Amino acid sequence: MVYFLIFLFLFSCKEQEYNDYNPIAPSICEYEDITGTCCPEAELDCNNICNGNSAFNCNNACVSIAYIDACNGCNDSNALNYNENSTDDYNCIYDNPPENYTLVWNDEFNSPEIDLSRWNFEIWGAGMFNNEEQAYSSRSENAYIENGKLIIKALKENYNNADYSSARMTTQNKGDWKYGRIEVRAKLPTGLGTWPAIWMMPTNSVYGVWPNSGEIDIMEHIGCDNGNIHGTIHCSEYNFVNNTQQGGTLNNILAVTGTDVDQFHTYTIEWDDSSINWYVDNISYYTYYKNGDDYTTWPFDQNFFIILNLAIGGDWGGICSFESTAFPQMLEIDFVRVYQ
């Protein structure tokens, strides 16, 4: 009887050991992503997220799985951005790239419709941020392509419980980059109360919510600012909430370039692992330098995406009265180009 009980005990132990055994359980964490999830490196997506939803498309760009078949470039073999896999003939460019750079993404806005494989619309009501007075929509009344230009149009109308409507477009998860030269050729509105912006936000808030993970403002202008162009960064240490933001101003664009903001200019940043440089028409006017490895002053070592929007009023755009401003007001974009 004693031998039988010993046998049962040993058998039950072996059975428990067998049931607890998981032959595919990893003995160590091969890779921990920014969410704290562990997985084998083979299960990372192209944004280094475990089992994430992004992959490289046929032009080797990291995009949403939903747009994995989208090929950047054009099918004209004479074009700078020729891609034999692309069926796109709307975004061909023939300019020489800046020295030491290669074109990796662009939109020339020559297609009949806004390319939703490249752009998202953000939609919300007035007052969501900065006490702005417009509601953003995805309607063709507020954003459309005309004569090879993207038009973002602000209307004075009763829309979605707001007195104004406009559009805000992003490349998030369809165009995201760490470092490079970003060029946007644009014509700005000049009406009082207008606040057009070309800027960048982090694809993944690696260091926490705004401002910890950073913001890069390539171009901002407000209608009553006498043709001044602003380039700014925000981060944990330097941000407008604390009035410590770091940036520069190109004073009086007319005097510097010969034409005013209501004509086309190319607004540019060059961003690498040690600095961000701002330009208008290749005229440098500000540089922000990395001064340590602490994210509180340099969160700019992650992927960022582009935002184009036209706000009305708000904490900055509304600093002067704009009751008499004529509407519609328009932000026109000729092209967006990204080089690395």
Buried b (16+ CB within 10 A) or exposed e, 245-265: bbbbebeebeebbeebbeebb
Residue 148 three-state SS: coil
Our answer to whether residue 146 is catalytic in this structure is no
- Please state, in angstroms and rounded to a whole number, the distance separating the CA atoms of residues 329 and 313: 12
Our answer to whether residue 220 is catalytic in this structure is yes
Catalytic-role residue among 108, 132, 183, 215: 215
Which residues in 139-282 belong to E strands, given as ranges? 143-146, 149-159, 162-166, 168-170, 176-177, 180-187, 194-202, 215-220, 229-234, 246-250, 265-271, 275-280
Ramachandran assignment for 109, one of left (phi > 0), alpha (psi -120 to 50 degrees), beta (any other): left
Place of tokens 């006490």: 131
What's the half-sphere exposure (Cβ side, CA atoms, 13 Å) at 255? 7
Catalytic-role residue among 108, 132, 220, 332: 220
Q: Give the residue numbers annotated as catalytic, written as ranges.
A: 215, 220
